Structure 1
Amino acid sequence: MAVKTEFSKQQFIEILSDYTLGDFTAFKPITAGTVQTNFLLQTTQGTFVFRYYENRSMGSVLFESDLTQYLKKKRYPCPAPLKNSKGRYVGTHNEKPYIIFEFVEGQHLENPDAAQTKQLIQKVAELQNLTRNYKPRHTKYRWNYDLALCQQLAREEADKINTVQAKEKLAWFEHELSQLILPRSLPKGICHCDFHFSNILFQNGEFKALIDFDDANYTFLMYDLATLIDPFLPSFDWNSWSHFKPGENVFDFSAASQTVMEYTRHRPLNNNEKSHLYDVFKLSIMFDCVWYFKRGDAKDFYEKRKIAALNDLGREHFHAELFGKQKRNVQPKRGDGKEGCRS
Structure 2
Amino acid sequence: MAVFTPVSEAQAKELLTHYTLGDLVSLRGIASGIENTNYFVTTTTGVYVLTLFERLTHEQLSFYIELMHHLAARGVAVPDPQSRTDGTRIGTVNGKPSSIVTCLRGASVMAPGPVHCAQVGEALARMHLAGADFPVVQPNLRGLPWWQETAPTLLPLLDAELAALLTDEMEVQTRVAAMPEARSLPTGPSHCDLFRDNVLFDGDTLGGFIDFYFAGCDTWLFDVAVTLNDWTSDPATGEIDMARYDALLQGYRRVRAFTDAEHALWPYALRAAALRFWISRLYDFHMPRPAQTLTPHDPRVFERILRLRRAADSFLLP
What TM-score comes out, normalization by structure 1 length? 0.75
Distance 1:135 1:154, change over 3 A: farther
The corresponding residue for 1:158 is 155
**What is the letter of the counterpart of residue 189 of structure 1?**
G
The corresponding residue for 2:254 is 265
Where has structure 1 moved over 6 Å in runs of 4 or more?
A: 162-166
Contact 1:132 1:221 in 2 (8 A): no
Superposed CA offset, 1:227-255 (max 9, x none) = 23359x967x6x658xxxxxxxx777554
The corresponding residue for 1:177 is 173
Provide the rounded CA distance (Å) in 1 between the counterparts of 2:270 and 2:86. 43
Contact 2:70 2:131 in 1 (8 A): no
Provide the rounded CA distance (Å) in 2 between the counterparts of 1:259 and 1:27. 36
TM-aligned CA deviation for residue 98 of structure 1: 0.6
Contact 1:188 1:221 in 2 (8 A): yes
Contact 1:33 1:198 in 2 (8 A): no
Provide the rounded CA distance (Å) in 2 between the counterparts of 1:116 and 1:251. 15
TM-aligned CA deviation for residue 99 of structure 1: 0.2
The corresponding residue for 1:277 is 266
**Which secondary structure does the structure 2 equivalent of 1:318 belong to?**
coil
Contact 2:114 2:243 in 1 (8 A): no
The corresponding residue for 1:66 is 66
Provide the rounded CA distance (Å) in 2 between the counterparts of 1:307 and 1:119. 24
The corresponding residue for 2:190 is 191
Superposed CA offset, 1:5-63 (max 9, x none) = 22212111111111122222322222333322211222222222111112222223221
Structure 1: give runs of 5+ residues left out of the alignment: 242-249, 324-343
Contact 2:67 2:131 in 1 (8 A): no
Bigger Rg, which one = 1
Q: Map residues 228-307 of structure 1 onto 2, 5 A cutoff.
A: 228-230=227-229, 253=242, 255-293=244-282, 302=304, 305-307=307-309
The corresponding residue for 1:35 is 35
TM-aligned CA deviation for residue 309 of structure 1: 0.5
Contact 1:135 1:189 in 2 (8 A): no
**Which secondary structure does the structure 2 equivalent of 1:148 belong to?**
helix
Distance 1:214 1:177, change over 3 A: same
RCO comparison, higher one (Cα < 8 Å, 6+): 2
Superposed CA offset, 1:100-153 (max 9, x none) = 11222222222233322211111111111112364525x15x5063x4343233
Provide the rounded CA distance (Å) in 1 between the counterparts of 2:105 and 2:19. 22
**Which secondary structure does the structure 2 equivalent of 1:209 belong to?**
strand
Higher helix share: 2
Structure 2: give runs of 5+ residues left out of the alignment: 287-298
Provide the rounded CA distance (Å) in 2 between the counterparts of 1:251 and 1:48. 35
Provide the rounded CA distance (Å) in 2 between the counterparts of 1:111 and 1:90. 35
Distance 1:291 1:92, change over 3 A: same
Taking every aligned residue pair, what percent have the same amino acid on both sides? 23
Provide the rounded CA distance (Å) in 1 between the counterparts of 2:16 and 2:192. 31
The corresponding residue for 1:8 is 8
Superposed CA offset, 1:272-292 (max 9, x none) = 221122222222122133224
Superposed CA offset, 1:184-242 (max 9, x none) = 111101221223332212224211111110111110011122123359x967x6x658x
**What is the letter of the counterpart of residue 38 of structure 2?**
N
Provide the rounded CA distance (Å) in 2 between the counterparts of 1:9 and 1:60. 27
The corresponding residue for 1:85 is 85
Length, aligned pairs only: 298
Q: Which moved more, 1:251-260 or 1:6-15?
A: 251-260
Q: Which moved more, 1:21-30 or 1:175-184?
A: 175-184
What TM-score comes out, normalization by structure 2 length? 0.81
- TM-align CA RMSD: 3.0
